[in-house]
Amino acid sequence: MVSRLTSSGCLRSRLAVLIALLAPVGLCAQEEPVKPMRVPFDVLKTQHIVINVKVNGKGPYRLIFDTGAPVTLINNKVAKEADVFGKDFKRPAFALFGALGQVKIKTLTVGDVTAENIPAMVMDHPTVDAISNAFGPIEGIVGFSFFARYKMTLDYQAKEMTFVPTKFEPPDMLDSITKSIMAGRNNPKKKILAPGGLIGIKVKKEADDMDAGVTIQDVFAGSPAAAAELKTGDRLLTLDGRWTDSVLECYEAATMVRPGEIRVVIKRDGKELTRTLKIQPGL
């Protein structure tokens, strides 16, 4: 346990140094265009999306674009050609499917979109290989670590994606998984659902009540809920577009709200009504 923690901490600090060294390059090189950058794509017969990607200026290579892939992945051939391994890169002693670990791609270019310092895995993924064998060369997968940096649209009819850079910094999946497993083991306590503002209701649901929504048990006088004319006995169906089918779900939805206007849908006397609620800071 201790040794694991140490090695994970060590890895992370090494990674931190790497990021610190690379950061200035990223800062001065990028200018943010406002117009969405269009990227046309092809689909394979399997309907997987294929895009042309340049890795560190090399290529283009054909990669699958995958909204369900948390990481970006390139095969060993591309990794070699594009020279993604830094000088300090250490090959792991054991490489399942030729998996050589995490690297940073200096520039990943998709159409007019160039992203810098994209974390990626180097691996000859068996599924990608199988698809590659069936439908021509496919050299990897473009995933979350790339597309999460952008406001993205995906349109299969137009066979086109668009990208606009945002301020979002995609967290490293490995870090978040490592943390969550560690947290889960060391700290088995409950997750507390804290509403993001004051609404002013108490809700309930009986164990044998299988209908949609929760029942409003109480509306506090003078609260945002009272101002929106919610009433005791109303059935709360959605809060800010989220289902509230159990008391905990209702709180879960409330964790996402912030002070300001939201819409709620209630059922009263068999009719669905939409009300606007002005959430206040408070608790």
Partner 1 sequence: MKYRCWALALLLGSTIPVGADDPPPRADKAKAEQIQVPYRRTMTQHILVRAKINGKGPFNFIIDSGAPLVFVNTAVGKKLGLDVDPDTNAATLDRLEVEGGVVLNKVRVRVETPFQLEGMNGMGLAGAELHGILGYTLMAKFKIEVDFTKDKMGWTLLDFKPPPPQGIGAKAAAAAGGLEMMGTIMKFVGFLYGTKTTPDMAPRGFIGIELAEKGADDSKMVEIKAVLAKSPAAEAGLKVGDRIVEINSKTVSSLADVQRITAESTAGQTLQLQIRRGTEKLDIRVAAGEGL
Ranges within 51-70 binding partner 1 (CB under 8 A): 64-70
Is residue 111 within the footprint of partner 1 (CB under 8 A)?
no
Give the single-character DSSP code of 249: H
Q: Give the per-residue contact string, 127-146, with partner 1 (x = CB under 8 A; - = no).
A: xxxxx-xxx-----x-xx--
Q: Are strands 140-142 and 58-65 parallel, antiparallel or unpaired?
A: parallel
Q: Cβ 141 to partner 1, closest distance in Å?
A: 6
Q: Would you count residue 102 as binding partner 1 (CB under 8 A)?
A: yes
The answer to the question of residue 92 lying near partner 1 (CB under 8 A) is: yes
Single-letter amino acid, residue 73: L
Residue pair 128/7 in contact (Cβ under 8 Å)? The answer is no
**Which position among 39, 73, 230, 237 is part of the footprint of partner 1 (CB under 8 A)?**
73
Listed in sequence order, the DSSP H helices in 86-172 are 126-135, 144-147
Give the Cβ contact number of residue 131 at 10 Å.
18
According to the binding rule CB under 8 A, does residue 30 interact with partner 1?
A: no
Q: Does 262 bind partner 1 (CB under 8 A)?
A: no
How do beta strands 201-204 and 214-219 pair?
antiparallel
State yes or no: residue 151 binds partner 1 (CB under 8 A).
Answer: yes
Contact flag: residue 252 with partner 1 (CB under 8 A): yes
- Rounded Cα–Cα distance for residues 166 and 162 (Å): 13
Interface segment toward partner 1; rule CB under 8 A; list 24-32, 77-85, 110-118, 164-172: 164-172
* Residue 19 contacts partner 1 per CB under 8 A: no
Separation of CA 38 from chain center:
21
Task: Select the residue interacting with partner 1 from 59, 111, 195, 213 (CB under 8 A).
Answer: 195
CA angle 208/209/213 to nearest 5° reads: 150
121 burial level (CB within 10 Å; 0-12, 13-18, 19+): buried
Instruction: By CB under 8 A, name the one of 20, 27, 34, 192 that touches partner 1.
Output: 192
**Segment near partner 1 (CB under 8 A); pick from 74-82, 109-117, 215-223, 266-274:** 215-223
Cβ 101 vs Cβ 122: under 8 Å: yes
The two tokens of residue 107 are 């520039």
Rule CB under 8 A: choose which of 17, 23, 29, 181 binds partner 1. 181
Token pair listed for 85: 């391994």
> Look-up: residue for tokens 């919610």?
230
Residues 221-250 binding partner 1 (CB under 8 A) are: 221-223, 240-243, 245, 247-248, 250
The window from 17-25, 75-83, 107-115, 219-227 that contacts partner 1 (CB under 8 A) reads 219-227
Closest Cα to residue 121, out of 100, 90, 137, 97? 100
User: Stretches 25-33, 77-85, 191-199, 268-276: which one binds partner 1 (CB under 8 A)?
Assistant: 191-199
Smallest separation, CB 226 to partner 1 (Å):
9
